[in-house]
Amino acid sequence: MSNGVNVQALLDAREVLKGAPEAAQFTWRASSKWQHGVHSTTKIEKFFGLGQEQSHKNESVFEADHPAIFAAEDNGITPIEYLLVGLAGCLTAGVASVAQNRGIKLNSVEASVEGGHDIRGILGADPDVRNGFNDIKVVFTIDADASPADIEALVAQSQKRSAVFDALTNPTNVTVEVA
């Protein structure tokens, strides 16, 4: 049975890093460049982890812009939509990993993610409205050789171990400076 997740490698890493917290310190990096209007391009390639510089196999390039109804050119998705990409990717990876670890064969995993957003916040139209999402809803449709309760447990455990779920549900200190 395999969902293609190398769970043994993850379990081995967990054991090793238990005794080596310094190697577990990762830094993820992105660098962006303003293009024109509200369009920017962000590239991601290098990161730091396991005590040294690391690199993805390839550089990834992400365009961020606003849609035409915001009077923009729509060269890419809006920045806040990237949070949905992150959440969907993270929870889905979690479902696959937990399923692998529990010996559950996945036939298909689909998720629809919706973020409710009152844009009066970012427009400054109402000071009582926040800038970010008001709420996010994820609905998984999973076909797997497992009971409904086991599938619910996969999704619950995936949230419990999700970096992006944590980052979205808990506050994080963010420092923004001018170099």
Partner 1 sequence: MYVTTAVIGAGHAGLAASHFLTAASVDHVVLERGEVANSWRHERWDSLRLLTPNWLSRLPGAAYEGPDPDGYADMGEVVDLLERSAKDVPVRTGVNVTSVRRSPEGYTLTTSEGPIRARTVVIASGACNRPVMPAFDVPARVEQVTPFDYRNPSRLPDGGVLVVGASATGVQLAAEIQRSGRPVVLSAGEHVRMPRVYRDRDVLWWMHHAGVWAQRYDELDDLTRARRLPSPQLVAGSTLDLNALTSMGVELVGRLSTIRDGAALFSGGLRNVAALADLKLNRLLDTFDEWAGTAPGERHEPTRVPASARWRLDLRSGEIGSIVWATGFRPDYSWLDVPVVDEKGALVHDGGVVGDGLYALGLPVLRRRGSTFICGIEDDARDVIGHLVQGLKSA
Residues binding partner 1 (CB under 8 A) = 134-135, 149, 152-153, 156-157, 159-160, 165-166, 168-171
Decide: 118 and 149 in contact? Cβ < 8 Å.
no
Distances (CA, A) of 101 to 1, 9, 22: 10, 11, 26
H-only helix segments in 42-173:
79-101, 120-123, 148-160, 163-169
76 vs 158, beta carbon nearer partner 1? 158
65 vs 140, beta carbon nearer partner 1? 140
52 vs 135, beta carbon nearer partner 1? 135
Give min distance, CB of 143 to partner 1, in A: 20
Q: Rounded to an integer, what distance in angstroms lies between the CA atom of residue 84 and that of residue 106?
A: 22
HSE of 71 in the Cβ direction (CA atoms, 13 Å)? 0
Give min distance, CB of 125 to partner 1, in A: 21
Run of H or E including 115: strand 106-116
53 vs 166, beta carbon nearer partner 1? 166
64 vs 164, beta carbon nearer partner 1? 164
Decide: 156 and 102 in contact? Cβ < 8 Å.
no
Give min distance, CB of 175 to partner 1, in A: 14
Give min distance, CB of 170 to partner 1, in A: 4
Nearest residue to 140 via CA among 175, 96, 174: 96
Give min distance, CB of 159 to partner 1, in A: 4
